[in-house]
Amino acid sequence: MDPFNLLLITVTVLILYFSLEFLLRDRITKYVDKIPGPIKLPIFGTTWPLLFLPKSVMFIVSKDVLRSYGPIMRSWLGREPAIHCIEPENVEIILNNSIQITKSKMYKIVHPWLGDGLLTSAGEKWHKHRKFITPTFHFKILENFVDIFVEKSQKLVEILKVKADGDIFNIYPYITRCTLDIICETAMGVKINALDNPENEYIKSIYGITKLTMKRLTTPLLHPDFIFYKTPFGKEYNKYLTILHNFTKQVIQDRKKAFKNDHLHSLNTSIDEDIGIKKRQAFLDLFIEMSNKENAFTDEEIKEQVDTFMFEGHDTTTAAINWALFLLGNHQDIQDKVYEEVNQVFQNYENLTINSLNDLKLLERCCKEALRLYPSVPAIGRELTRDIELGGYLVPADCTVAVEILSLHRNPKVYSNPDNFDPDRFLPENTKNRHPYAYVPFSAGPRNCIGQKFAIYEEKIILAYILKNYKITSTQTEETIKPMVELILRPKDGLFIKLEPRV
């Protein structure tokens, strides 16, 4: 083909592409701008008032903006529109939908680490893997993990002894290391001993990549790959990524080799003769077993799921536990009642089991109320694949819809005194007439969190052991603590408390 014709074809294709893009964007703009929202400026969209605000102030401003424009609001991040929902009826339309299951573009930021795991995948691949993975969270399998929750909680209590002298300290890193130990052993069958050795290379890489992911998420200039990977942040990110992926790959190969050597075939029933302890299957072992029997996963897909479990299985639970401690440390009367309940349960059981967890009813209500006020995941994003109607407005395909869980959970139409900590909101008589989509800390519908029972069991056990052994006093209040809205809702500077040993 001669150069002139090649140039002509190229120009024609570009004109067609940009014409179609303009028509698509023009249609999106036409419908999106009918929805209430802040003033839109060229380039900046509606985010210009937030550009120079600290993340902790953005938490307050974002809540106020959503409340002033709700129940449905539109925003623009540059040329990208988002529709924000804070009413249960609209949230149900989005979450209880077997078609609109594609995560928003923001989730692409974690794709280099997590690939197409359950968090980020969509379509046929997501449906297939969700179907295979759901049985791994069966009650009997989770029951086998309770011993790990107990063991790590006891270790945490022991380590905290040196801090139980009435001095103020940040408990957040200790909870993080405890949940990392738990998820590593339950997801991969590997002990990394984060509680004893926080300088472990894998642990430091988890911290590092999480921090850099949040940095990239909140810095639009770093979103394009061709910019990010040329910066020092991108180079550091790649270093951590290599360590994490190599570690996971090595663990997978080791477990597969053991499986082939018939060492893992009967883990649920076999006893280690040397130490007399029942062996446990990690999630990784179950994936390998499914891969061998049903061709369910390739090695790459196993790695993606394990990495996803590592990401989702420690950060969200860490945040939930810390917010519960913060609230109980500010409400001593409720903490005293929880302590009485925990003490009674420990009198009846030597160690906590799944059955004994059912007796911790007040503690569970406290966990739920903490997740209402401070949901670990403050918002969920979906990218629409079809037009839908929300709140009387047509929302076109290719828009992002954000379910604003934080504002949903503090909706005064649903919750009286919504900013107050009141665990009795979750008494059966107070929940029976509540809209089922007014409380969604683990999302809801077909893409609900597959590990929510795992997370609640883990949270209750860790909190029960801490509360049994220590009285907690928060040194921050709801007025002074600074929540940061990122992928995870966390206190900006950590959680500072005082611990006193229980007599």
For residues 149 and 182, the answer to whether their CB atoms sit within 8 Å is: yes
Of 9-18, 68-77, 356-365, the range with the lowest mean pLDDT is: 9-18
Instruction: With respect to residue 2, please indicate whether it lies within any of the assigned structural domains.
Output: no
Instruction: With respect to residue 29, please indicate whether it lies within any of the assigned structural domains.
Output: no
Exposure on the CB side of residue 357, measured as CA atoms within 13 A: 22
Q: How many Cβ atoms sit within 10 Å of the Cβ of residue 402?
A: 21
pLDDT recorded at residue 124: 86
Q: What is the pTM of this model?
A: 0.88
pLDDT recorded at residue 353: 85
Instruction: With respect to residue 412, please indicate whether it lies within any of the assigned structural domains.
Output: yes
> Would you call the peptide bond into 198 cis, given omega within 30 degrees of 0 as the criterion?
no
Q: What is the dihedral of CA 156, 162, 168, 170, to 10 degrees?
A: -30
Per-residue pLDDT tens digits for 68-115: 887 899 988 777 889 999 999 999 999 998 888 888 877 888 899 999
pLDDT recorded at residue 259: 79
pLDDT recorded at residue 269: 40
Cα distance between residue 320 and residue 249, in whole Å: 30
Helix (H) or strand (E) holding 353: none
Domain coverage including residue 158: 56-501
pLDDT recorded at residue 108: 86
pLDDT recorded at residue 272: 39
Instruction: With respect to residue 337, please indicate whether it lies within any of the assigned structural domains.
Output: yes
Position 179: which residue type? T
Q: In sequence order, what are the beta bridge partners of 165? A: none
What separation in angstroms does the CA of 223 have from each of 51, 363, 489? 16, 41, 21
Q: How many Cβ atoms sit within 10 Å of the Cβ of residue 245?
A: 16
Cα distance between residue 372 and residue 387, in whole Å: 30
- Long-range residue pairs from 475-482, CB within 8 A, at least 24 positions apart, any chain: 475/168, 476/326, 477/330, 478/330, 478/419, 481/326, 482/56, 482/59
Instruction: With respect to residue 447, please indicate whether it lies within any of the assigned structural domains.
Output: yes
Q: How many Cβ atoms sit within 10 Å of the Cβ of residue 468?
A: 17
pLDDT recorded at residue 319: 95
Nearest partner of 376 among 292, 309, 474, 452, judged by Cα: 452
CATH code, 217: 1.10.630.10
Decide if pLDDT at 390 tops 50: yes
Cα distance between residue 195 and residue 182, in whole Å: 10
pLDDT recorded at residue 12: 60
Per-residue pLDDT tens digits for 194-208: 999 888 898 889 889
pLDDT recorded at residue 21: 47
Q: What is the CA radius of gyration of the chain?
A: 24
Backbone angles phi, psi at 233, to 5 degrees: -60, -45
Position 147: which residue type? D
What separation in angstroms does the CA of 351 have from each of 151, 153, 268, 354? 10, 11, 21, 10
Nearest partner of 321 among 162, 446, 160, judged by Cα: 160
pLDDT recorded at residue 435: 96
Residue 197 burial (10 A CB sphere; 0-12, 13-18, 19+): exposed
Position 263: which residue type? H
Residue 3 binned pLDDT confidence (cut-offs 50, 70, 90): low
pLDDT recorded at residue 233: 95
Residue 401 binned pLDDT confidence (cut-offs 50, 70, 90): very high
Instruction: With respect to residue 246, please indicate whether it lies within any of the assigned structural domains.
Output: yes
Instruction: With respect to residue 41, please indicate whether it lies within any of the assigned structural domains.
Output: no
Tokens 């795992």 — which residue?
454
Q: In sequence order, what are the beta bridge partners of 83? A: 74, 401
Of 276-285, 364-373, 437-446, the range with the lowest mean pLDDT is: 276-285
pLDDT recorded at residue 271: 33
Average of pLDDT values for 469-480?
95
Share of the chain above pLDDT 90, in %: 53
Instruction: With respect to residue 32, please indicate whether it lies within any of the assigned structural domains.
Output: no
- Token duo for residue 2: 């001669």
For residues 307 and 115, the answer to whether their CB atoms sit within 8 Å is: yes
Nearest partner of 32 among 400, 407, 382, 404, judged by Cα: 400
Per-residue pLDDT tens digits for 281-294: 889 988 888 888 77
Cα distance between residue 288 and residue 296, in whole Å: 9
- Token duo for residue 130: 């969700």
**Domain count of the chain?**
1
pLDDT recorded at residue 210: 85
Average of pLDDT values for 386-409?
92
Residue 9 binned pLDDT confidence (cut-offs 50, 70, 90): low
pLDDT recorded at residue 349: 75
pLDDT recorded at residue 41: 81
Per-residue pLDDT tens digits for 142-182: 888 999 999 999 999 999 999 998 899 999 999 999 999 99
- Token duo for residue 418: 């919504």
Cα distance between residue 464 and residue 82, in whole Å: 40
Q: In sequence order, what are the beta bridge partners of 402? A: 84, 381
Cα distance between residue 70 and residue 38, in whole Å: 11
Q: Is the dihedral of CA 253, 254, 256, 260 positive or negative?
A: positive
